[in-house]
């Protein structure tokens, strides 16, 4: 340990190296036990740290806000936890190009604040805006408004990262169109830190929409929820999201519209008159449920009806919530029950979706036997000593 600390102290300030890991266990939990925590101040420092790690075969785990760390990394013992929180500069801001290059430790909140002075915004918005942009890119995050704005990768124009062997690599650029050789920035996006440590990102940004409005409607049963959803999908709307949650045996359907003021007013009026939607005052605080299901939109309502029927047949209370426009259903089952889970899994499988129960993947699409193999070959080729996130869950069955 002392030895590792001495080695790292050669490439970054001593105050940037911490060995009192317990202070950090609150964030990650006791299953994650790095030897050392380091807060490098530049890509150059990270490159040097990675070279030291390669020479000494020490695993390195990049850390952003830590909010989603466990989703990408299995528990481990030993190694270097490398925080990007000292990388938070705005590198190049070009409002005339609608682009901004930032260091990876900058948070969504900080970016939003910076851009708002020019009436611009970064469209991917998460429930917790303390997440870092590096983390968001590394997992290709998306928010409630995915239907309108899709996922992070749609806004990534360029990336700088430190390779698992300690080279600083720049890929992509700052232009909206770019087909100059292999698009490695798209490979790094969503690679969960296993193929490189992202240090800078060039993002596309947009003007803040003129108008945003949230409407809601109370419906008393699942069938009505489905009928109204169907009708809404047939309306021409500037729809950013359509979500629902359960409240006192009823369902609250919530709808976000975004766009030009005149259009939004017109659409809002129509929804108010035709369906009795009204302004939504309170946004519900989101809680995570035990089971998460993702379906295509054309199978979504079939999924909800099927799940509701199982709950009724088994006489087990099940609470539903969901983001309809993202195709996501979340359910909370009062009593865990093996037989019930099997029935749910069967429905999800028939509908071609993905099911996660208590953090475990139960059903997911078949990618072919060669898929994991090619990912592992890529990993071995860019990281022959398996230094970077050796326990990456992105490279597991």
Partner 1 sequence: MLDKKIIKELTQIVGKENVLNTEITLATYSYDASPFFSKPGAVVFPSSTEEVVKVVKVANKYGIPLTPRGAGTCLSGGAITSDEGIMISLTRFNRILEVNPVDKVAVVEPGVTNLQVQLAARPYGLMFAPDPGSQNVATIGGNIAENAGGMRGVKYGCTKEHLLGLEVVLPSGDVIRTGSVHSEITTGIDLTYLFCGSEGTLGIITKAWLVLSDLNETVQTMTTTFSSIEDAGDCVAEIIAKGVVPTAMEIMDNTVIKAVDDYLNLGFPRDAQALLLLEIDGFPKDVEVQVATILDAFKNNNALSYKIAQNEQERQELWIARRSVNGALGRLKPSNIVHDIVVPRDLLATMLKRSAEIAKKYGVINGQVAHAGDGNIHPTLYYDHRIPQEVEGVEKACDEIIKETIALGGSISGEHGIGLEKLKYVPLAFTQSSLNYMKKIKESFDLANKFNPGKLLP
* DSSP string across 50-83: HHHHHHHT--EEEESSSSSHHHHB--EESSEEEE
Residues within window 351-370 making contact with partner 1, judged by CB under 8 A: 352-354, 356, 361, 364-370
Residues within window 368-397 making contact with partner 1, judged by CB under 8 A: 368-371, 373-375, 377-378, 380-382, 393-395
* DSSP string across 310-327: HHHHHT--EEEEEEGGGT
Residues within window 122-151 making contact with partner 1, judged by CB under 8 A: 139-140, 142, 146, 150-151
Q: Are 4 and 58 in contact (CB under 8 A)?
A: yes
Query: Cα separation of 237 and 148, whole Å?
Result: 11
Taking CB under 8 A as the rule, does residue 287 contact partner 1? no
**Binding span for partner 1 by CB under 8 A among 14-22, 35-43, 75-83, 231-239:** 231-239
Which one among 16, 42, 85, 97 touches partner 1, defined by CB under 8 A? 97
Report the candidate in 213, 240, 243, 214 with the shortest Cα–Cα distance to residue 228. 243
Contact map string, positions 37 to 76, toward partner 1, x by CB under 8 A? ----------------------------------xx----
Residues within window 187-206 making contact with partner 1, judged by CB under 8 A: 187, 189-192, 194-196, 206
**Binding span for partner 1 by CB under 8 A among 5-13, 14-22, 336-344, 347-355:** 347-355
Query: Cα separation of 129 and 141, whole Å?
Result: 12
Of the two residues 4 and 104, which places its CB atom closer to partner 1 in the complex?
Answer: 104
Taking CB under 8 A as the rule, does residue 99 contact partner 1? yes
Q: What are the phi and psi torsion angles at 281 (to 5°)?
A: -95, -50
Q: How far is the CB of 101 from partner 1 (least distance, A)?
A: 10
Q: Is the dihedral of CA 293, 299, 300, 305 positive or negative?
A: negative
62's CB contacts (< 8 A; 6+ apart) are 82, 84, 134, 138, 193, 197, 198, 388, 389
Contact map string, positions 292 to 311, toward partner 1, x by CB under 8 A? x-xxxxx-------------
Of the two residues 40 and 166, which places its CB atom closer to partner 1 in the complex?
Answer: 166
Query: Cα separation of 249 and 229, whole Å?
Result: 18
């Amino acid at each position: 340990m002392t030895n590792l600390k001495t080695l790292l102290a050669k490439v970054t300030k001593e105050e940037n190296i911490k060995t009192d890991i317990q202070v950090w266990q609150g964030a990650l939990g006791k299953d994650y036990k790095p030897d050392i925590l380091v807060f490098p101040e530049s890509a150059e420092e990270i490159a040097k740290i990675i070279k030291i790690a390669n020479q000494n075969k020490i695993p390195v785990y990049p850390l952003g806000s830590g909010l989603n760390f466990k989703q990408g990394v299995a528990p481990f013992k030993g190694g270097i936890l490398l925080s990007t929180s000292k990388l938070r500069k705005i590198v190049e801001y070009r409002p005339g190009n609608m682009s901004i290059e930032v260091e990876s430790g900058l948070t969504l909140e900080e970016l939003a604040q910076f851009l708002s002075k020019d009436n611009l915004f970064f469209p991917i918005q998460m429930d917790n805006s303390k997440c870092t942009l590096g983390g968001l890119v590394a997992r290709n995050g998306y928010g409630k408004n995915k239907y309108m704005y899709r996922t992070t990768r749609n806004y990534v124009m360029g990336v700088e990262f430190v390779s698992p062997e300690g080279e600083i690599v720049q890929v992509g650029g700052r232009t909206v169109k770019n087909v100059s050789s292999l698009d490695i920035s798209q490979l790094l996006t969503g690679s969960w830190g296993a193929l490189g440590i992202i240090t800078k990102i060039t993002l596309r940004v947009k003007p803040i929409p003129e108008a945003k409005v949230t409407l809601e409607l109370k419906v008393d049963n699942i069938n009505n929820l489905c009928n109204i959803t169907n009708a809404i999908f047939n309306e021409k709307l500037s729809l950013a999201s359509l979500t629902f949650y359960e409240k006192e045996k009823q369902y609250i359907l919530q709808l976000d519209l975004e766009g030009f003021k005149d259009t939004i007013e017109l659409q809002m009026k129509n929804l108010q008159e035709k369906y009795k939607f009204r302004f939504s005052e309170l946004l519900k605080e989101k809680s995570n449920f035990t089971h998460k299901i993702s379906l295509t939109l054309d199978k979504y309502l079939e999924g909800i009806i099927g799940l509701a029927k199982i709950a009724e047949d088994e006489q087990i209370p099940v609470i539903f919530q969901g983001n309809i426009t993202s195709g996501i259903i979340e359910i909370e089952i009062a009593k865990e029950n093996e037989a019930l889970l099997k029935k749910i899994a069967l429905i999800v499988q028939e509908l071609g979706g993905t099911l996660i129960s208590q953090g475990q993947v139960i059903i997911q699409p078949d990618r072919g036997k060669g898929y994991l193999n090619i990912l592992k070959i890529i990993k071995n080729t860019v990281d022959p000593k398996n230094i970077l996130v050796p326990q990456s869950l992105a490279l597991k069955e």
